[in-house]
């Protein structure tokens, strides 16, 4: 059975953000992930994690002005100084929260533009080295254009090639099953082929991005395959509950019946 992490940016939204830690722990989760902790003092988030006895398995580097539509800085020429500061901020929070995985978002940028490709490659190498000094895994994640139009990284092969070309052992793939199915399909074979570079997995149903087991994929077969392939990392539950979060957790019962 995979190690599941509740995604507090999408789940338990019946509660204020800082109260979601306790809600996730009371629901039986031992681990959580979310997008960004930066609206709160690191010490406050750390205290919530400690109080709820939760592990913070992942969060994202700052991604620019999210409210204004920015989705990452790495591929944006001219934002290098801001990006480097964002890496320092993320590493400071990671130290406070005990987090060993950080997701670097690329930004809304045309991957065919040589300047953006160069900016991204430089940013990836900088962040990889900074994270590597702290024994932290840096993750990159292809996102589908329906959810994130214009996003720089929109192909699993493109991401795998970047990871291979960079050759840093702490740079890994964030394999979001939801995006994989929308972008390419062929989920089981991709998990098998890409397993050596996978650093984190996320799941949601397709196309609704709801609880596993409610979409077009046999999500439980995919989760079983992760076990069979020897994946021992976390699976982030990055889904929007169809109704109240607690009502929708019965998908986890599937594993009780195994
Ligand atoms: O969109 C996703 O699937 C992610 O995991 C990013 O971190 C946030 O957009
Ligand atoms: Mg994801």
Tokens matching residue 135: 């024994």
Taking residues 230-252, report their average pLDDT: 97
For this structure, is 70 an active site residue? no
Contact residues for 92 (Cβ-Cβ < 8 A; gap 6+): 42
Would the pLDDT of 258 be above 60?
no
Q: Does the beta carbon of 141 sit less than 6 angstroms from any atom of ligand 1?
A: yes
DSSP string, 209-231: --STTSSSS-HHHHHHHHHHTT-
Segments forming the whole domain that contains residue 111 = 3-257
CA distances 117 to 100, 114, 201, Å, are 26, 5, 25
Q: Does the beta carbon of 33 sit less than 6 angstroms from any atom of ligand 1?
A: no
Residue for token digits 């722990």? 25
DSSP H or E stretch at residue 33: strand 31-33
Residue nearest to atom 2 of ligand 1 (CA): 143
* Atom number of ligand 1 nearest to Cα 176: 3
Q: Does the beta carbon of 180 sit less than 6 angstroms from any atom of ligand 1?
A: no
Q: Would you state the pLDDT for residue 257?
A: 61
User: In the beta sheet, which residues pair with residue 4?
Assistant: 235
- Whether the model clears a pTM of 0.90, i.e. scores above it, the answer is yes
Taking residues 218-235, report their average pLDDT: 97
Q: Would you state the pLDDT for residue 177?
A: 98
**pLDDT class of 42 with cuts at 50, 70, 90:** very high
CA pair distance 39, 152, nearest whole angstrom: 25
- Output the CA 198–ligand 2 centroid distance in Å: 13
Q: How many domains does the chain have?
A: 1
Would the pLDDT of 31 be above 70?
yes
DSSP state, residue 64: S
pLDDT digits (tens, 9 = 90+) for 139-179: 999 999 999 999 999 999 999 999 999 999 999 999 999 99
Q: Give the active site residue among 33, 53, 133, 238.
A: 238
Residue 160 sits in a domain whose CATH number is 3.20.20.150
For this structure, is 82 an active site residue? no
């Amino acid at each position: 059975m995979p190690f599941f992490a509740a995604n507090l940016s999408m789940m338990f939204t019946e509660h204020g953000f800082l109260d979601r830690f306790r809600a996730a722990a009371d629901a039986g989760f031992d681990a959580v992930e979310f997008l960004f902790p930066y609206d709160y003092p690191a010490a406050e988030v750390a205290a919530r994690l400690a109080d709820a006895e939760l592990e913070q398995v992942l969060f994202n580097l700052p991604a620019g002005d999210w409210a204004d539509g920015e989705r990452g800085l790495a591929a944006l020429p001219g934002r290098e100084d801001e990006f480097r500061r964002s890496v320092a901020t993320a590493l400071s929070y990671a130290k406070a929260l005990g987090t060993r995985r950080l997701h670097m978002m690329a930004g809304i940028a045309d991957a065919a533009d040589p300047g953006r490709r160069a900016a991204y490659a430089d940013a990836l190498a900088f962040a990889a080295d900074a994270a590597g000094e702290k024994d932290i895994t840096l993750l990159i994640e292809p996102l589908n254009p329906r959810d994130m139009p214009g996003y720089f990284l929109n192909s699993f092969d493109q991401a795998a090639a970047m990871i291979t070309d960079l050759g840093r052992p702490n740079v890994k793939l964030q394999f979001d099953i939801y995006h994989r199915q929308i972008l390419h399909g062929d989920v089981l074979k991709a998990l098998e082929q890409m397993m050596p570079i996978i650093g984190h997995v996320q799941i949601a149903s397709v196309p609704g991005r709801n609880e596993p087991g409610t979409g077009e994929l046999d999500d439980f077969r995919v989760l079983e395959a992760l076990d069979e392939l020897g994946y021992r990392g976390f699976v982030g539950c990055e889904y929007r509950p169809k109704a109240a979060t607690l009502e929708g957790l019965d998908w986890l019962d599937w594993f009780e019946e195994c």
